[in-house]
C-alpha cells in the first residue's frame, strides 16, 4: 500500500478484535481450563462477550458461570488461584494456533510506518500473552510501543498508556488517534482527549459500536490510509 499524507502523528491500536481475531483460541484455553477441573465448557459466543477487560477478568467470568458464585466471590476465593496457572499454561500453548490478522492489517501498519507515523498497541491483555500473540503473527516490528494490561498499575479505560506514548513522542492529543473495537477503547480515547475510530467486527460485549459514539466507524483499518 502507498504511504499516505498523514493526518496523524501517532496512532494507538487495541489488539484483540482490532488487529487480531483471537477469540477462538481464547475460548480453547478457557475450555481447556474448565475441562481440567471437570466443569462444562463455555460457548464461543459467551467467551466473546467476556473479552475486553483482560484474560484474568475473562477467566473470573467463566469461573463464576460454572461455579454459580458471583464474580467478586471468585475474585476473592481460592478457585481463581487454582485456575490461573492452569489457564496460563493452556493459553500460552494456544496463542497463535487459531487466531488470525484481520484484513489489511499488516500492509496498513507498514504503510503508516513508512509515512512516519508512530504506532502503539494499548491492550488490557496481560503482557506475557500480548507478547506471545504479537510474536505469533510477527507484529512486534510494526510498533514503536506496546502497552499491556499490566504495564502500568492502571489499564484501559484509564488513559495512562496513551498519555505515556504522547509524552514519549511529544505528540499533541489533536494529532493522535485511537483505533479499537469497543466501548472500553472509546472511553480510553475520550479520557486521553484524542480522536477514536472503531471497527464493527470485534468484541464489544454484544453491543453495536455505533452506540459508543466514536468519531468514525470504519469497515477495516485500510481506511486509515484514505
Specify whether the CB–CB gap between 75 and 193 falls below 8 A.
no
Q: Mean pLDDT across the stretch 188-214?
A: 95
Would residue 165 be called left, alpha or beta, if left means φ above 0 and alpha means ψ between -120 and 50 degrees? Answer: alpha
Cα 1 to the center of its chain, rounded Å: 25
Q: Mean pLDDT across the stretch 133-160?
A: 96
Q: Mean pLDDT across the stretch 200-211?
A: 91
- Residue-wise pLDDT for 31-71, tens only, equals 999 999 999 999 999 999 999 999 999 999 999 999 999 99
Q: What is the mean pLDDT of the chain?
A: 95
The CATH number fitting domain 23-94, selected from 1.20.120.80, 2.60.120.1440, 3.40.50.300, 1.10.150.240:
1.10.150.240
- Residue-wise pLDDT for 145-154, tens only, equals 999 999 999 9
Contacts 24+ apart (CB under 8 A), 4-9: 4/111, 4/112, 4/115, 4/224, 4/225, 4/226, 5/115, 6/112, 6/115, 6/116, 6/117, 8/117, 8/175, 8/176, 8/177, 9/117, 9/118, 9/169, 9/171, 9/172, 9/175, 9/176
The CATH number fitting domain 10-22+99-225, selected from 3.40.50.10320, 3.30.43.10, 3.40.50.12780, 3.40.50.1000:
3.40.50.1000
Residue 119: per-residue pLDDT: 98
Distance between CA atoms of residues 82 and 66, nearest Å: 15
Catalytic site residue from 14, 16, 28, 181: 14
Residue 100: per-residue pLDDT: 96
Judge whether 14 counts as a catalytic residue. yes
Q: What is the pTM of this model?
A: 0.93
Ranges of each domain in the chain? 10-22+99-225, 23-94
Answer yes or no: is pLDDT of 5 > 90: no
Shared fold status for 10-22+99-225 and 23-94? no
Residue 69: per-residue pLDDT: 96
Q: Mean pLDDT across the stretch 97-107?
A: 96
**Euclidean distance between the first and final Cα of the chain, in Å?**
11
Amino acid at each position: 500500500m502507498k504511504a499516505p499524507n498523514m493526518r496523524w502523528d501517532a496512532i494507538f491500536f487495541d489488539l484483540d478484535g482490532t488487529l487480531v481475531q483471537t477469540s477462538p483460541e481464547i475460548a480453547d484455553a478457557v475450555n481447556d481450563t474448565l475441562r481440567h477441573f471437570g466443569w462444562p465448557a463455555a460457548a464461543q459466543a459467551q467467551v466473546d462477550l467476556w473479552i475486553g477487560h483482560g484474560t484474568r477478568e475473562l477467566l473470573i467470568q467463566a469461573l463464576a458461570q460454572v461455579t454459580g458464585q458471583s464474580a467478586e466471590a471468585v475474585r476473592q476465593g481460592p478457585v481463581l488461584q487454582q485456575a490461573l496457572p492452569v489457564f496460563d499454561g493452556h493459553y500460552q500453548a494456544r496463542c497463535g494456533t487459531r487466531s488470525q490478522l484481520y484484513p489489511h492489517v499488516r500492509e496498513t501498519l507498514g504503510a503508516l510506518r513508512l509515512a512516519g507515523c508512530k504506532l502503539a498497541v494499548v491492550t488490557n491483555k496481560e503482557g506475557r500473552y500480548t507478547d506471545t500473540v504479537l510474536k505469533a503473527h510477527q507484529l512486534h516490528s510494526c510498533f514503536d510501543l506496546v502497552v499491556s494490561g499490566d504495564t502500568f498499575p492502571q489499564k484501559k479505560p484509564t488513559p495512562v498508556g496513551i498519555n505515556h506514548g504522547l509524552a514519549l513522542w511529544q505528540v499533541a492529543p489533536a494529532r493522535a488517534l485511537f483505533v479499537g473495537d469497543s466501548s472500553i477503547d472509546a472511553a480510553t480515547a475520550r479520557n486521553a482527549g484524542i480522536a477514536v475510530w472503531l471497527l464493527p467486527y470485534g468484541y464489544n460485549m454484544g453491543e453495536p459500536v455505533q452506540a459508543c459514539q466514536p468519531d468514525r466507524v470504519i469497515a477495516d483499518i485500510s481506511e486509515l490510509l484514505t
